Structure 1
Amino acid sequence: MEGRAQNLPHVLRLLLGLVVLSTLMGLLMAGIAIPAIGAGGSATTSGVKAFNDLPSEFSVSPLAQQSKILSADNKLIANPYDENRIIVSLDKISPWMQKAQIAIEDSRFYEHGGLDVRGFTRAMVSNFSSGDVQGASTITQQYVKITLQENALRRDDKDAAQAAVAKTYTRKLQELKYALDVERNYTKEQILAGYLNLVYYGDQAYGVEAAAQNYFGVNAAKLTLGQAALLAGIVQQPTKFNPVINPKQSQARRNAVLDRMQALNLAPVAAVTAAKKQPVADMLGNRKPPKGVCQRSSQPFFCAYMMEYLQKSPQMAVLGKTPAERLKNINQGGLTIKTTLDTKLQTATMRELTAAVPIGNKSNLGAASTVLEPGTGKVLAMAQATDFGDSQLNLNVDQRYGGSQYGYQFGSTAKMYALVTALESGMPLDATVTAPMASPEDSHVFTNKDMHDKCRTDPKGWEVKNDYKSGGTLSLAKMTAESINTSFAQLTIDLGACKVHETMNRMGLHQGDGKPIDTAIPAVALGAGVVTPMTIASSYATLAARGKYCEPTPIESITTSNGKVVKVPPTSCKQVIRADVADGVNALLQGPLYDSRGTAEGSWTVKERPAAGKTGTTNNHNQSWFVGYTPQRAASVWIGNVKPAKANGELLTLNRKTFGSYGYKKSVFGGTVAGPVWGKIMKAATDGLPIVPFTAPSAAVRNGNYVVLPAVAGDSIETATGKLEAAGFKVKVGGRVDSSVREGRVASTTPSAKAPKGGTVTLLISRGYSTQTAQRFTPQPQNTVVVPPPTTPTAGPGPGQGPGPKAKPTKPPKRP
């Protein structure tokens, strides 16, 4: 009796199951909806009503799928995703894969209408025998279940996602009713394709295409019998049958699938036998495991920049209000994002950088370059010679897009902004600046007494050295070509460092964190501030575009998964300096490349194509730059110490390091390696483009707005100062010179005849006349600048000297 009593619940469950099955069969034969589980009589009637009240229309939403980031020539750069999924049509899935999945999951798939009655009956008897809720789900039912879960997850509805896979009769009945609706509205091929694209194959691979690439390094269309059987077997328990972590269990499961295919005559005996012989471990030799989106990109740093730009740029508000919303749309929306990246130029840029700075070098050397299109801001190339696997820090871009907080000191490339400010202030192209002498050994100290505004130095003063002994009265052209530090320090002081700083801001120059360059005069005049290569390239591109600054943009177009074009607002462009001022600066900045004593002479070999630019070298030869442009392209090249200093703050040096194919360099300047690398990158960037000359400077810029100075030669210092100040000029007392004028009186001025109204005039004081000095005194002509004609570049300005006797600079040493 005790044994019979213990078995009574089991017997009652079996009887109840028979009642339910008989009711179910009758309903199916009558073609009506399936009733809910219940006993006979009124319970059955209420169950039928409850079931019929369940929703029956099932909508198949588009699957979350990878977006595509493409180059300008439609080459794949990356596939952003939340789930590693690539949607493919059924004709791009191997027939072996289709057969294997059907064999192991739903062998009567093509025979039923969403419910496999035989399997369902077996499961129901088992359920009522054990008290569990088991499956026997068809592929259609599984498709419904996973789709419901996927849609809930995309809505961030965790409760609905859990309910979609809950082991309850209510959920199973809802799933079954939806399955019947799917079978009525979709073909078997559509259902099978949806399932194969949706199901999880373990190891972060969703859908058969991603799984095929992940495990075997092939497309789903190329899957063999053995590969297909292995994948099909994973679905039931993706972790247990994962071939990477559990190869033995995976192999046993694969063989079970192969046996099932053979039993169903879906695969011949010989093929099955051959497939079984291959160990699972040997099948994974070419696998492409999922990595971070950009780790597996052909251009990882550009990819990382793109992902940050898409989330954070104001231009990308079309993708969502917040970075999180944008990222979700990027990862799940199947967007096609076409970029401005020129893969051919990108390859050339990377080749030239790594020729100078090999990736993985042990010398703390790094290199980076950005190439832009002036007038549009399009990012055409962006490369760096570091290992993405070691560090994802992007040396080219600002912090908000994955770069550093600051960037690197940019040295003498800062001098361009003083030239812009000078011409805007009315200085003519042939203007001169009288500056103190300095050499590598003997610096000149500028003090705050020399400054005219709040952009000053510290109380100790500002020590400025030149690369060789030079100073005195020099033309803008000569001091630009030879990059004379004291001349530009003096020019910046004369103009007002805050005024030059404002020019920097207008032309888009800023630190890596987006803040303005430091206002201290060393940062403004000689580039002690910090910038990134993309920022300074876009700033110099302003000159190439004749004064129009454009924010860099990598976006060409965005389309949705159904081909709809997303309206992306154009990048911000603004005229920030006068076109004729840009023309004048362009003429001056040809000097470093074309002048025989230019700091980058020899870097540009395409003589028929005009180009301009500026070298940059920082203290202790710590970093080196060249930033230059043609009317159609602008590019920056930074080569330097990735870590600028030792732990104690002592600056490291580039001197005596070896630069790849450029070899060992005893002394490193901006024109030593960065200049020649820029020349090769720019040659690739302009190859095939029509030759376009720079616009010749206008007469207004050539002549400036100088006014005639009062005659002060022979006057006392006090009298001369009074006359000049009354005329609206600032006055500075300079050095002593040989002259026939009485000792202590004003011998001459710099400038000698004209100066910008409100500018600074330097008084040169006479030492007194003597026969000996008269014999060696020969007045020198005023400096002039050679302006390039409209169709050909200038050969560069001549050396020239300022008016009156002066200390001659020594000839610069030949740059290594």
Structure 2
Amino acid sequence: MIGKMAAVGNVLRLLAAFVVLAVVAGVLAAGLAIPAVGATGSTVKGGVSLFNELPGDLTQSPLNQQSRILDAKGGVIATPYSENRIIVPLKRIAPIMQKAQIAIEDSRFYEHGGVDVRGLSRALVSTVQGDKQGASTLTQQYVKMTLQENALQNDDQEAAQAAVARSGIEGISRKLQELKYAVKLEQTLTKDQILEGYLNLAYYGDLAYGVEAAAEHYFSTSAAKLNYNQAALLAGLVQQPGVTDPVHYPKAAQARRDVVLDRMAQLGVITAQQATAAKKVPVKSMLKVKPAQNTCQRSSEPYFCTYIIAWLQQQKVLGADPAERLKNLNTKGLTIQTTLDPSLSDYITKTLRKKVWAGDPSGVGAAATIIQPGTGKVLAMGQTSKFPVGNQKGKAYTQQNWNVDAKYGGSTYGFQIGSTAKMYILADALSNGIPVNGSVYAKAAGPSRPAYYSRSDNSDSCKDWQTWPVRNDSNWGGGPMSLWTATGASVNSAFASLTMKLGVCHVIDTMTKMGLHMGNGAALPKYPTMALGAGTISPMTVASGYATIASGGIYCQPTPVVSITDSTGKKLPLGANPCKRVLDKDVAAGVAQLLKAPLTMPGGTATGLGVPGRPSAGKTGTTDSHVQTWFAGITPQLATAVWVGTGIGTGNGVPSTPFSMAGKRIGGIYRGNVFGADIAAPLWQSIMTRASKGMPVEQFPKASSKVTNGDYVKIPYVVGMSTSAAKAAIEDAGFDAYNAGQSYSTYPAGTVAGTTPSGSALRGSSVGYYISTGYVPKPPKPPATQKTKKKPSSSSTSKKSEKPKKSKPKPKPTKTHHG
């Protein structure tokens, strides 16, 4: 202990000798190195040597500052940061703010050379006495704050504490180092540069770093627009920001502000009358606090905020891994320009909540995403839930974004998409030569009578399944059905037959190349149920798939960002969105044409629910037991998917396991069996009408005759064959074969007598084969000439009672087709 005290005394003597020498020589104001030659006394020489050996170049790490996430109109969505700081040049800080800070911290700032000898003497005495007061120059304070900031950025708590030590050996050592750095700094920077750095670095309390962030936080204004009373309040906070910030300590802040006002008046910065008037204004009345937007809880678009931050963590341009990317987002002052239209997103949310309330007692939720075809830009999104702020709880609240995949904050798996998946089957069918005007043989099926498909029905190698039962929402007796009718009425057995014809693997491959994947990121399993919408998918993914049709066959990954700019204004190389052609544009036009059927066909699943005055196309979707419902659709300029369903799992008493919506009161209205046309399609119509407002009316491209009418190809010669051989030959030629019934023919009974149609037919269409009866009935004899006969008398002749004979159905007369 005695040794330590002796060491302290020695250092104090060294410092005292150094100060005395500095005062005499004036070297602290004029230069950096002090020559020991000519200095008298070992103590003075030792002090000079000690000072000269200290480091002189102050290295400043780039300041942590907030980044900004902007919407498409330039509004701020969020400002992620680890320190709430916005760096601005001195010219963007009001002169009165500059003068107020100088007045209270270092009124002779523009007169000294970095070390004020009078102030240094006072600081020395305070340090020796263990007093925590300070009388450093503004330059020395800037040095101290820089050292502390550097230490904190390096996560060096010991160095951070040493940078602000006020007493003992550490305090003396720090003061010496500050002196050296301050003198050097004044040689390398101008006074204005030092003042600019100070005002951007200083902590102003309540998590506001730098004067710009403080002005925004406390007064909802910029540093450039501060008045003298606001400037005095902020300038006073720097000395003890932790106990004088006006939000939590308004009385202390007001007392400190008044001290600054008096000092400003004393120095002639303001008049005495101005100071008196300003003191009468309560600090509380001055405040217009702007809540921090560093977290998505406080964001203007919280669900989009969580999505975009997760998306940014996937971008390699921001760092080596997600953790580094997030750190850079929170510290580097980036500007992220997004694609989001905030007014459209707000409209979506309000519209959805009119039909499905936030926290609806039924446990049903709804969400919608709008994608721009050809670019993949995410234009808007919304959902019925509310984003919790603080400890808000209840059925209405969840942080889960139902619109996106799990890796972006979405539901764990997504939601089954039902018959919206039929769009992908149509794309595959038209890509393989089946025309818009073509047909498919739909097996008989109804709500209680399924049609069964087996592995042998499937045309490709995807056979890792046994039997596929398929039901229709209404009864269908079986037979050929046009694609137009099958699409408009959403006939499951027709699309199941089409899937078997195309091949399960083939259909799912087309789905995959059009961007369809499970909500957890996994690839679609290659089961036939995927073709009819058993896959659990996010609304954004469905919307981007439909956007592929609107864009003429070009798939673009959904993207929420236009550009990322660093703090110097340089754009980071994000690269172009990976768009690629996945469908022929003629095929896409044909699919769009068929997707008009649900909206325009009499008896269509969503007849009359298109966008008024605009061409529109889309598809309803309803899963088994009415668990999930959808409408996904397009105009030439927009693609939107609307989901209404269950299994949202908010964690607040709402089930995460999907359940039937049938018989529930949703949005206050009792619903029986809920279909895609009941809630989702009307919501889609409202959203798309609003989103299309002001856009020019454009038409979908017209499909070519080849895609519309298909290729007519020759039907193979099957007359005289067995039914199994004829069926195989017809199917090998690319047609759907079906039994068209019996026909009078002299060919052996049970063999094929002909086909319908005859000659040629559309590639991929249905061709029926007639089975021969084995005979042709003789033509009836012509009626004989009638002679007049005498009617028998009623008494001599009696009628016999005859039972009507049961007639067998006659085979259809059919022309035999040869070739």
**TM-score band w.r.t. shorter chain:** 0.7 to 0.9
- Say which of 574, 579, 586 aligns to 1:568: 574
Superposition deviation, residue 308 in structure 1: 1.6
Superposition deviation, residue 532 in structure 1: 0.8
Superposition deviation, residue 583 in structure 1: 2.0
Match of 1:582 in 2: 588
- Counterparts of residues 466-545 of structure 1 (less than 5 Å): 466-467=473-474, 471-524=478-531, 526-545=532-551
Match of 1:169 in 2: 172
- Say if 1:494 and 1:759, in contact at 8 Å, map to a contact too: no
Match of 2:643 in 1: 638
Superposition deviation, residue 534 in structure 1: 1.2
- Say if 2:262 and 2:275, in contact at 8 Å, map to a contact too: yes
How does the TM-score come out when normalised to structure 1? 0.82
Match of 1:433, SS? Answer: strand
Superposition deviation, residue 510 in structure 1: 0.3
- Counterparts of residues 289-300 of structure 1 (less than 5 Å): 289-300=291-302
Match of 2:148 in 1: 149
- Say which of 24, 32, 46 aligns to 1:26: 24
- Say which of 584, 594, 616 aligns to 1:611: 616
Q: Does 1:709 align with 2:715?
A: yes
In 2: Cα distance, 1:552 partner to 1:753 partner: 48
In 1: Cα distance, 2:689 partner to 2:428 partner: 30
Q: 1:18 to 1:257 in 2, by over 3 A?
A: same
- Say which of 551, 556, 561 aligns to 1:550: 556
In 2: Cα distance, 1:428 partner to 1:61 partner: 66
Q: Does 1:686 align with 2:692?
A: yes
In 2: Cα distance, 1:707 partner to 1:421 partner: 20
- Counterparts of residues 600-749 of structure 1 (less than 5 Å): 600-607=606-613, 609-643=614-648, 651-653=659-661, 656-659=664-667, 665-705=671-711, 707-710=713-716, 717-718=723-724, 720-721=726-727, 724=730
- Say if 2:296 and 2:305, in contact at 8 Å, map to a contact too: yes
In structure 2, list runs of 5 or more residues that go unmatched.
389-396, 778-804, 815-819
Match of 1:194, SS? Answer: helix
- Say if 1:623 and 1:654, in contact at 8 Å, map to a contact too: no
How does the TM-score come out when normalised to structure 2? 0.81
- Say if 2:646 and 2:658, in contact at 8 Å, map to a contact too: no
Match of 2:68 in 1: 68
Match of 1:367, SS? Answer: strand
AA aligned opposite 1:140: T
- Say if 1:543 and 1:585, in contact at 8 Å, map to a contact too: yes
- Counterparts of residues 220-619 of structure 1 (less than 5 Å): 220-221=223-224, 227-246=230-249, 249-250=252-253, 252-254=255-257, 256-257=259-260, 260-261=263-264, 286-312=288-314, 316-389=315-388, 390-448=397-455, 450-452=457-459, 455=462, 461-467=468-474, 471-524=478-531, 526-607=532-613, 609-619=614-624
Match of 1:809 in 2: none
In 1: Cα distance, 2:477 partner to 2:173 partner: 91
- The superposition leaves residues 207-261 of structure 1 with CA deviations (integer Å, 9 ceiling, x where unpaired) of 2232333344444455566655544443333333344445555555455555555
In 2: Cα distance, 1:470 partner to 1:115 partner: 98
Superposition deviation, residue 598 in structure 1: 1.8
Q: 1:764 to 1:380 in 2, by over 3 A?
A: farther
In 2: Cα distance, 1:11 partner to 1:476 partner: 98
- The superposition leaves residues 151-179 of structure 1 with CA deviations (integer Å, 9 ceiling, x where unpaired) of 45445666665554454434322322222
In 2: Cα distance, 1:335 partner to 1:268 partner: 42
Q: 1:261 to 1:720 in 2, by over 3 A?
A: same
- Say if 2:352 and 2:383, in contact at 8 Å, map to a contact too: yes
AA aligned opposite 2:128: F
Superposition deviation, residue 190 in structure 1: 3.8
Identity of aligned residues (%): 48
Match of 1:173, SS? Answer: helix
Match of 1:380, SS? Answer: strand
AA aligned opposite 2:533: G
Q: 1:18 to 1:559 in 2, by over 3 A?
A: closer
Match of 2:243, SS? Answer: coil
Match of 2:118 in 1: 118
In 2: Cα distance, 1:422 partner to 1:160 partner: 69
AA aligned opposite 1:74: G
Match of 2:320, SS? Answer: coil
In 1: Cα distance, 2:434 partner to 2:266 partner: 93
In 2: Cα distance, 1:456 partner to 1:441 partner: 26
Q: 1:598 to 1:499 in 2, by over 3 A?
A: same
In 2: Cα distance, 1:14 partner to 1:154 partner: 32
Cα RMSD of the aligned pairs, angstroms, is 4.0
AA aligned opposite 1:141: Q
In 1: Cα distance, 2:408 partner to 2:94 partner: 41
AA aligned opposite 2:329: I
Match of 1:787 in 2: none
Superposition deviation, residue 433 in structure 1: 1.9
Superposition deviation, residue 309 in structure 1: 1.5
Match of 1:113, SS? Answer: coil
| Worse-matched range after superposition: 48-57 or 759-768 | 759-768
Q: 1:60 to 1:648 in 2, by over 3 A?
A: closer
Q: 1:646 to 1:151 in 2, by over 3 A?
A: closer
In 2: Cα distance, 1:77 partner to 1:16 partner: 56
Q: 1:733 to 1:270 in 2, by over 3 A?
A: same
AA aligned opposite 1:21: V
- Say if 2:630 and 2:680, in contact at 8 Å, map to a contact too: yes
Match of 2:128 in 1: 128
- The superposition leaves residues 121-157 of structure 1 with CA deviations (integer Å, 9 ceiling, x where unpaired) of 1221233345x78742222211122123334544566
Q: 1:102 to 1:467 in 2, by over 3 A?
A: farther
Match of 1:789 in 2: none
- Say if 1:366 and 1:386, in contact at 8 Å, map to a contact too: yes
Superposition deviation, residue 620 in structure 1: 2.0
AA aligned opposite 1:290: A
- Say if 1:369 and 1:637, in contact at 8 Å, map to a contact too: yes
- Say if 2:730 and 2:737, in contact at 8 Å, map to a contact too: no
Superposition deviation, residue 397 in structure 1: 1.6
Match of 1:439, SS? Answer: coil
AA aligned opposite 2:51: F
Superposition deviation, residue 530 in structure 1: 0.8
In 2: Cα distance, 1:8 partner to 1:480 partner: 95
AA aligned opposite 1:333: K
Q: 1:318 to 1:605 in 2, by over 3 A?
A: closer
AA aligned opposite 1:465: N
Q: 1:649 to 1:680 in 2, by over 3 A?
A: closer
Match of 1:295, SS? Answer: helix
Q: Tell which structure's C-alpha radius of gyration is larger.
A: 2
Superposition deviation, residue 405 in structure 1: 2.7
Match of 1:784 in 2: none
Q: 1:10 to 1:347 in 2, by over 3 A?
A: closer
Q: Does 1:82 align with 2:87?
A: no
- Counterparts of residues 756-795 of structure 1 (less than 5 Å): none
Superposition deviation, residue 394 in structure 1: 1.6
| Worse-matched range after superposition: 500-509 or 642-651 | 642-651
